[in-house]
Structure 1
Amino acid sequence: MKQKNIFLATVFISILMSCSTQKDSEKKMKSTITKKKTVVYQVFTRLFGNTNTTNKPWGTIEENGVGKFNDFTDKALTEIKNLGVTHIWYTGVPHHDVIRDYTKYGISNDDPDVVKGRAGSPYAVKDYYNVNPDLAENVENRLQEFEALIDRSHKNDLKVIIDIVPNHVARNYQSLTNPEGTKDFGADDNTSVEYHVNNNFYYVPNKAFEVPDFLNDYKPLGGEKHPLSDGKFDENPAKWTGNGARSPKPNFYDWYETVKVNYGISPDGKKDFDELPAGFENEDYKKHFEFWKDKKAPNSWIKFRNICLYWIEKGVDGFRYDMAEMVPVEFWSYLNSAIKMKNENAFLLAEVYNPSLYRDYIKKGKMDYLYDKVQLYDTIKHVMQGHGLTDNIPPILEDLKDIEHNMLHFLENHDEQRIASPEFAGNALKGKPAMVISTTISTAPTMVYFGQEFGEDGSENAGFGSPSRTSIFDYVGVPSLQRWVNDKNFDGGQSTKEELDLRDFYKRLLNFTIKSDALMGEYVDLHNYNRENTQNYTHKILSFVRFSEDEKLVIISNFDDNEVFKFQLKIPSEIIKKWNLKDGIYKMKDQLYNSKSFNLEVNNSEGNINIVINPLESFILKIQ
């Protein structure tokens, strides 16, 4: 009996400790969500300051122009900051393959047979210790020009993010500016074997690389003659291609311009490195850092850690990690804990598209944020296109509620179609209700892609890049942005009224979000309750409340582009009680345009607001 009592007591203590650990974990999570909203402005660096409007397909720099680091003047950065931005992601900064002769600066020429476009893919990095020479006024001083841009950005109160592409590098990786003692990827590889834990690449022994068969009448540089465009590329033995293709002759749709980096996972899937102990996902980055200190890491891990710390030392405030799910989560624990030890506030954003991996990459991999694409973005896109229901949005918040802060929201980025393109919504105004929902529905950061605020439609035929997405492969201009840049006055002097009105909407919305306490507080859905209890409230409407101790918000958006809706929005009693509202009438004012006021009438602890909402209109109503 005594043993049984001891056993029961032990179990009881264990349960209490488990509950305590869970509560501590929840407290830790809440303690990290005390700041205001974050807004990331993604800008494709070589396109921002380009004022050349020629836009010839496959055009050269001389024909189509290119933007520079120095185009981000104090005036330009002030205007970006005033849009309501906290972080700027300079996309395409690390030196990647480009089809332009820089040999007089010691840079080798790149082969059009393994380069996508003329300006090249920013995700085929050739040198991680330097920057794209296209972006410099003085190529010899290109690194110093970027360092000056980091300083200017900080002076204008903007945090700086750049890309790191850990899964693959350019086929011809060659760094000219390695720090002392640093060797290039593959320099010490044993190329006679397919795999070794400390090889940086996977090989196809005794087989030479072959350029893929180009499809659909594709020709490098659009068919222009070039001394290196001969259907050949010297790589012997062949390496695995970036997306994991193992053939020495990849398919045209493979990432043939890149090679896969080896992180110590054998071709049959065996992990040749230590794994995190059970329960370690609940430990902080300091414990993760300590865990790896005495472990032997594969060589590729060490190389990427050193690359990231190099940029942190130069003042970069964070990274966007390309295709992070293609790299083992243990590496992210190793890398991100090392970064956080140098800068605990570093902003670490990862491209992960598999929801079953989200929690591992956040908790084990110590990522701050992941793209919320396959759930929120894809669902909102369908609603904007007219064939999706707002009913499908609240369940996403429920599914992700334990990690909602970590799921970055966006409506555009360099991989996605422009809202205004016919292939997406065909009308930039359809982004307005979606943007209100995306920015206010959770505590997560918001991301805006440059030109989105003007309704850019991405319709240019740039060469390699296809219309609907602003090309990241070509020298091209971005017309709506160029009108705002206005010969580098950055004042909208050539913008249309519609473009300026749309930017004004973004500016109002984003600035509200970065100042609001409620948007870092609680969320409660109103949609399902009103769908069941309110006449004329349809699947084209979405509503919810956000609140903190000092700020109470009701947010409503109409996704219909034709119909005016009139209904009595109901606020359930549990919300009224949480807000400590007694029966009576409370004034609510719209925070977007400050032109409309509403009454919240509370009777018997239930609230009602008479709403008239126009097509594509949104309200952020605040109790006065």
Structure 2
Amino acid sequence: MDKKIVIYQIFTRLFGNRNTTRKVAGSVAENGVGKLNDFDATVLRHIHDMGITHVWYTGVIRHATQTDYSTYGIPRQNPLVVKGVAGSPYAIADYYDIDPDLAENVDERMQEFEHLVERTHKAGMKVIIDFVPNHVAREYHSIKKPAGVKDLGEDDNQGMNFSPQNNFYYSDYQLDLSGVSAYRNREDKEADYIENPAKATGNDRFDNRPSDNDWYETVKLNYGVDYCNGRGRSYHFDPIPNTWAKMTDILLFWASKGVDGFRCDMAEMVPSSFWRYATTVVKNRYPQIDFIGEVYDGNQYHTFVDSGFDYLYDKVGMYDCIRDVICGRRPASAITYQWQTVGDIAQHMLYFLENHDEQRIASDFFCGDAKKAIPGVVVSALLMRNPFMLYAGQEFGEKGMDAEGFSGRDGRTTIFDYWSLDTLRNGYFDRRHISKDAKALAVQYQQILRIANREKAVYDGEFFDLMYVNPASQHFNPRVNYAFLRKAANEVLMVVTNFSADRMNLKVMIPEHAFNFLNIPETTVEAVDLLTGEQQTITLQKDGMFPADVRPYSARIFKFSIMKETADYLFNEHNKEEFPPAHTAEHLLNQVMVRMFGCERSRNAHVERKKSKISYILDHKPARQEEKAIEQQMQQLIDADLPVTFEVVDKDNLPKGIDKSRLPEDASQQVRLVRIGDFDVCPCIGKHVRSTSQIGRFELLGTNWDEQTHSFRIRFKVVQ
């Protein structure tokens, strides 16, 4: 593995919606809806730049909705069996179709999805979609199934409550919705929904009278399990049940569209024997496909991993634990027990702190402040090699405190209603209005996620928990502090977190066992905090202490090399006192000139607070229009508010595009790279702003051209 999997869950319908009407229970015409085409190259580049490797587009398959698309030949759904005006994306109405809400051109909705897959791949990320195997919408009917494919229930014997070759379960009576408040309170008392015989609900209610607490809008699929056998539950898997073949064909259909993975909804409600069958068939044809299972029963984790799942939700384990640590209900030391509990399948667990089912971190129902969760994000993203997932808006501190319609004010972002989120609109489409707090939070997330998938010690390294040798003392508090080591080859990360509101000067013991297990020598190293760039010299001794000054709700991620003596890999001394905004502008200007004129980065620059000058060797004298274009592009990049981050790499393993010959002859073995979004990366040990908007206004004061040397000098200043 050369990169840690970082999944970005996007509720597709909401993401690109810039309509701010937000009428409670409003229609699509009133509240608007996001589109697949909202994910253009710029947006996808922004997502990728955050450190994302996989995008989970939630809700792209056509599902039940109250919106009428019958003019496009799409069957209209009865609103009495649809939750919310927009409908739940987990009440699938056609497994072979795309949600028309998401298309600019409804008739070309599948092509628009295929283009989205292509764009996402081109942006360097993989595509995950939902596979909902347990249940479908009550009025499921496929109008897009391939030729020769029979619809679900088409050949069912509805006179049998159960048959292994039926796709659904049937009762002996007509569906009775009197226990559902939406039905009882309907405005048109003449309106009705007739289903005879009634089908079992998705949450395993096998009679004909569902209630508000049931998944009354869905019907359960039959995988050959007889739940109502008088002698108890019985299994009928030979011959292969009809549903197995149909659902496996659906997986193959979407894999053929270029999808790279499936997040399998309520996987534990479907027999593991089916998963073993389906994952084997799919992976034989598409070996790159990942299966992610929503499984909540920890006792079944091994069963589902053995059945072909690559990753499983760790909601009842690590999520619940870290949420409690953030909220002060459990000590940070409890994290140790959670990773130990899953044992040899730890690398198969998917960690997260938000998704569409869970309450937002910043909501009143979680901890009310997104910043408080930063140490939890650090632990979740860096603890193991396993994947980490975040939910769109989490990185901007989305609170989820709207009452949107069917979804009330519960700390979650609605999946049932047409709505929009200011955090996403400002974060991706109108950054002029993004708040300083949201911007700072997003930079922190980006730093952490980039460390996760760029540091070999994280994505492919060993792990050592330090909690057992660090009990409560004046230098360490296991209730709010958690510490661990990661190591790959000669690179080591020491991660120390602080879940408290107090700044803490900690001393973390590294036991002899850690030295032996990780093959770390006793030596003196120069440790660099990858979050702040601060350096400190540390003497590593068995059972010795590692000092860490950790700010409130924060972490230290110290990186050091054990390859050579300290003198060989200290960063080169840097005597210049640059003005960070102007120095960062120098980085941008270098890349602008490289891209516009095909020249090298400047080797002659004088960057100062009042004004700066920088020279380039070009093949022609730039015209006035080209000079103006330089100034315009610089300001566009500044206004784009690109994050400025850095990483430490070995000189012999520089990323592609870095010219090693430009390093000084006495360059240290460890090189610091400064990245400005995905626009520029270069070695530098100077001071920089945290994001480009902090540069201010770029003013091109004048230029000079030397025809003999083809030297083009730019004079500029930045105005704060």
* Residue in 2 that maps onto 1:58: 25
Q: How many residues align?
A: 555
Letter in 2 for 1:572: P
* Residue in 1 that maps onto 2:504: 565
User: In the TM superposition, what are the counterparts of 1:322-341 in structure 2 within 5 Å?
Assistant: 322-341=265-284
* Residue in 2 that maps onto 1:15: none
* Residue in 2 that maps onto 1:541: 481
Q: Does the CA-based 8 Å contact 1:534-1:568 persist in structure 2?
A: no
* Structure of greater relative contact order (alpha carbons < 8 Å, 6+ residues apart): 1
The partner residue of 2:264 within 292, 311, 321 is 321
Q: Does the CA-based 8 Å contact 1:209-1:237 persist in structure 2?
A: yes
Deviation at 1:183, TM superposition (A): 1.1
1:504 aligns with 2:468: no
SS in structure 2 of the partner of residue 493 of structure 1 = helix
CA distance in 2, matches of 1:516, 1:582: 21
SS in structure 1 of the partner of residue 485 of structure 2 = strand
* Residue in 2 that maps onto 1:272: 236
The partner residue of 1:108 within 75, 78, 81 is 75
* Residue in 2 that maps onto 1:209: 175
* Residue in 2 that maps onto 1:67: 34
CA distance in 1, matches of 2:529, 2:342: 28
* Residue in 2 that maps onto 1:355: 298
1:614 aligns with 2:525: no
* Residue in 2 that maps onto 1:602: 540
Letter in 1 for 2:292: L
- Residue 439 and residue 404 in structure 1: after superposition, are their counterparts in 2 closer, same or farther (change >3 A)? same
C-alpha distance after superposition, 1:552-604 (max 9, x if no partner): 111111011x212223211111222345444442221111232x22333234x
CA distance in 2, matches of 1:232, 1:241: 18
1:174 aligns with 2:112: no
Q: When the two structures are superposed, what TM-score results if normalisation uses the length of structure 1? A: 0.87
SS in structure 2 of the partner of residue 161 of structure 1 = strand
The partner residue of 1:482 within 412, 415, 425 is 425
User: In the TM superposition, what are the counterparts of 1:4-83 in structure 2 within 5 Å?
Assistant: 34-83=1-50
User: In the TM superposition, what are the counterparts of 1:199-598 in structure 2 within 5 Å?
Assistant: 199-205=166-172, 207-215=173-181, 230=190, 232-267=192-227, 268=229, 269-274=233-238, 296-363=239-306, 365-467=307-409, 468-486=411-429, 492-519=431-458, 520-531=460-471, 535-560=475-500, 562-594=501-533, 596-598=534-536
**Structure 1 regions of 5+ residues with no counterpart?**
1-33, 275-295
Q: Does the CA-based 8 Å contact 1:120-1:473 persist in structure 2?
A: yes
Identity value in percent? 41
Letter in 2 for 1:399: T
* Residue in 2 that maps onto 1:290: none
CA distance in 1, matches of 2:198, 2:380: 44
CA distance in 2, matches of 1:64, 1:232: 27
C-alpha distance after superposition, 1:60-103 (max 9, x if no partner): 11111100011111111111111101110000011001111111
Q: Does the CA-based 8 Å contact 1:94-1:122 persist in structure 2?
A: yes
SS in structure 2 of the partner of residue 403 of structure 1 = helix
C-alpha distance after superposition, 1:442-480 (max 9, x if no partner): 111010100000000011110011221000000001121
CA distance in 1, matches of 2:26, 2:186: 11
CA distance in 1, matches of 2:283, 2:209: 40
SS in structure 2 of the partner of residue 402 of structure 1 = helix
Letter in 2 for 1:525: D
CA distance in 2, matches of 1:84, 1:166: 30
Deviation at 1:344, TM superposition (A): 1.1
Q: Does the CA-based 8 Å contact 1:90-1:161 persist in structure 2?
A: yes
CA distance in 1, matches of 2:461, 2:419: 42
SS in structure 1 of the partner of residue 168 of structure 2 = coil
- Of 187-196 and 388-397, deviating more is 388-397
**Structure 2 regions of 5+ residues with no counterpart?**
562-720
Q: Does the CA-based 8 Å contact 1:576-1:607 persist in structure 2?
A: no
C-alpha distance after superposition, 1:516-548 (max 9, x if no partner): 111122111111211167744331000011111
Q: Does the CA-based 8 Å contact 1:598-1:610 persist in structure 2?
A: no
Deviation at 1:389, TM superposition (A): 1.0
CA distance in 1, matches of 2:146, 2:520: 63
SS in structure 2 of the partner of residue 349 of structure 1 = strand
- Residue 534 and residue 583 in structure 1: after superposition, are their counterparts in 2 closer, same or farther (change >3 A)? farther
Deviation at 1:36, TM superposition (A): 2.2
Deviation at 1:214, TM superposition (A): 3.4
1:623 aligns with 2:560: yes
Deviation at 1:398, TM superposition (A): 1.4
CA distance in 2, matches of 1:623, 1:123: 47
C-alpha distance after superposition, 1:238-291 (max 9, x if no partner): 1111100012111111000000100001133211115xxxxxxxxxxxxxxxxx
Deviation at 1:35, TM superposition (A): 3.5
Deviation at 1:213, TM superposition (A): 2.6
Letter in 2 for 1:273: F
CA distance in 1, matches of 2:526, 2:178: 66
CA distance in 2, matches of 1:597, 1:527: 24
C-alpha distance after superposition, 1:285-318 (max 9, x if no partner): xxxxxxxxxxx31000001000010011111111
Letter in 2 for 1:384: I
- Residue 536 and residue 510 in structure 1: after superposition, are their counterparts in 2 closer, same or farther (change >3 A)? closer
* Residue in 2 that maps onto 1:8: none
* Residue in 2 that maps onto 1:152: 119
Q: Does the CA-based 8 Å contact 2:331-2:478 persist in structure 1?
A: no
Q: Does the CA-based 8 Å contact 1:48-1:67 persist in structure 2?
A: yes
Bigger radius of gyration, 1 or 2?
Answer: 2
* Residue in 1 that maps onto 2:165: 198
Letter in 1 for 2:373: G
C-alpha distance after superposition, 1:170-196 (max 9, x if no partner): 000001111011111100000001010
- Residue 170 and residue 230 in structure 1: after superposition, are their counterparts in 2 closer, same or farther (change >3 A)? farther
Deviation at 1:234, TM superposition (A): 1.5
SS in structure 1 of the partner of residue 403 of structure 2 = coil
Superposition CA RMSD, Å: 1.6
SS in structure 2 of the partner of residue 203 of structure 1 = coil
CA distance in 2, matches of 1:397, 1:481: 33
C-alpha distance after superposition, 1:14-54 (max 9, x if no partner): xxxxxxxxxxxxxxxxxxxx342100100001111100111
